[in-house]
Amino acid sequence: MVAVRFRHFFTIFVLASALLSGGSLAQTRLDGVVVTDHPAAVRAGMEILEQGGNAVDAAVAAAFALAVVDPASSGLGGGGVLVVYQTREKKAHALDFTAVSPAVSPALYQGVAGFPAGPLESGALAVGVPGTVAGLTEGLKRFGRLPLETVLAPAIRYATEGSRVTPSLRRAIEDNLPVLRQRPNFARIFLNAAGAPHGVGGVIRQPELAETLRTIAREGAPAFYEGAIGQSIAARIKKDGGAVTLEDLNSYKPVWRSPVIGKYRGRTVITAPPPSAGGLALVGLLNAMEGYGPDQFRHNSGAYLHLVAETTKAGTADLLELLGDPDFNEVPVQRITSGERAAAVRKRVSLDQAARGTATSWRSRSADDGGTNHIGVLDGDGNAVSMSVAVGSSFGAKVLVRETGIILNNQMQNFSPADGSDSAESAPNMLKPRKRPVNGMTPAILLEDDRPVLVIGACGGSRITGAVLQAILNVLDFRMPLATALAAARIHVPAGQRQTVEVETAVSEEAVKALEDKGHSIRRTSRLGAVQAIQVEGKRITGASDPRQTDAAR
């Protein structure tokens, strides 16, 4: 979903694929552009811009709104990553507000079969200390213009008056129906009296969440981490056998980190730092792809898709073995993003034959793409925000704290598995008390002449980075219009797989046959992530939502 508001000093063209029928163009003047996964969240961001807010104000408003209108994907019980660029100051910042493990011995989890798979995908033990409220309020405090009460007003209104069930929320409820039926707190909100999902267009009201948001608006983040809200969360987790305590909540702090910065074809790439694997992977893969001429391959030909797949394999084979929480481990960011590494990656890529992929001990969350939202904002002063927020898998740990209306994350599953091997025990992403697990979020801002030219990010679990990478290549190398670049068919190389490549159904049979001839094992799929993006070309501003996100095609 994408929307724009206008002010007097920029004359632009706006392609609002989610708002204007037939992909038509509208000439007008820019005051702000907001893109995200849900139309109500876009309206929340635009409402804040109309009240004089900047890009951070609007992004925070949209994120709180998403917690209400798309609770399967993000919420107050999750976490996220914020990347912001201040055009006047020419400065970039990154805020890590991902979930943190509780202050307990990892031995507590050793008896859980298949950790971090199996039982830790749901239930109280899967819950990490949530960072969303601390992160959003910290971003607003440092860079926002408007008071928290104003920024939270749209989310409070949606929770109080109700929000409509979208096709994607309906799909998430259906996908999790057996579990939700067993949990009365979920059933009373997301199911009707007969135990069936509400129909598309039906209204869901969340009065407890509305009251929680009102309390946060009055008292700020301390209400969540120290007050009655936190006490309710801790009590529910303890009752269900989890590990997060009120002391863990009291101790939570978001962390300002130096963003990962790279280059691609003359543009500066600003993206998320560790513990995000996405930012380092994106910069490293772009470095490797820059060694090939943009006119060397035909878009989505078998030869091009082979190059993307093989570069991804070679560029990420050991990446996840190097990554962990930078507060616990030294991450070799400069080496991973260096030209020398890019050259080494290209040497490992054969243009004729698929290499056997290298398995990794880090369990990248599977194809579940229901636990993340992405928000992009460009304001009238040229400031940009790219922010991803998540609860983990769809509906997180499937734990809803009734008194607060908050759904809790399942981010504990993203630590490396404790299989008893020496390599696992020493892995940078091994579970330790109050540590952040590796995540795949990939919010990014691209600059040209110190001004944003592309604000981009995606949802899609382990498929996020590949979706962002291919969209950037479509825009910069193949010069596609933004909406076309986002809609174009994609591939994905699953982490830890050998020669399997997931290929969207829109890829031609000719290209698939060429991939198979080079030794790839093909798995067809209908959807590989969903990208949100804003592009600036001189005075032409384009905002686009991925058509794979059903709600964006309105």
Max CA pair span of the chain: 63
Sequence-distant (≥ 6) Cβ neighbours of residue 56 within 8 angstroms = 84, 139, 140, 142, 143, 144, 377, 383, 385
Residue 525 designated active-site: no
Query: How would you classify residue 518: left for phi > 0, otherwise alpha for psi between -120 and 50, otherwise beta?
Result: alpha
Look up residue 181 and give its amino acid. R
Q: Terminus-to-terminus CA distance in the chain, angstroms?
A: 8
Helix (H, G, I), strand (E, B) or coil at 349: coil
Q: What angle do CA 431, 98, 43 make, to 5 degrees?
A: 155
The helix (run of H) or strand (run of E) holding residue 199 is none
Catalytic residue among 312, 360, 372, 404: 372
The amino acid present at 165, given as its one-letter code, is V
> Do strands 372-379 and 384-390 pair parallel, antiparallel, or not at all (unpaired)?
antiparallel
Contacts of 102 (CB under 8 A, 6+ apart): 128, 129, 242, 243, 244, 245, 248, 433, 434
DSSP characters for 293-313?
-TTSS-TT-HHHHHHHHHHHH
Cα–Cα distance for residue pair 168/448, rounded to 1 Å: 35
b vs e for 172-197, b when ≥16 Cβ sit within 10 Å of the residue's Cβ? bbeebbeebeebebbbebbbeeeeeb
382 DSSP 8-state letter: S
Instruction: Give catalytic residues, as residue numbers.
Output: 372
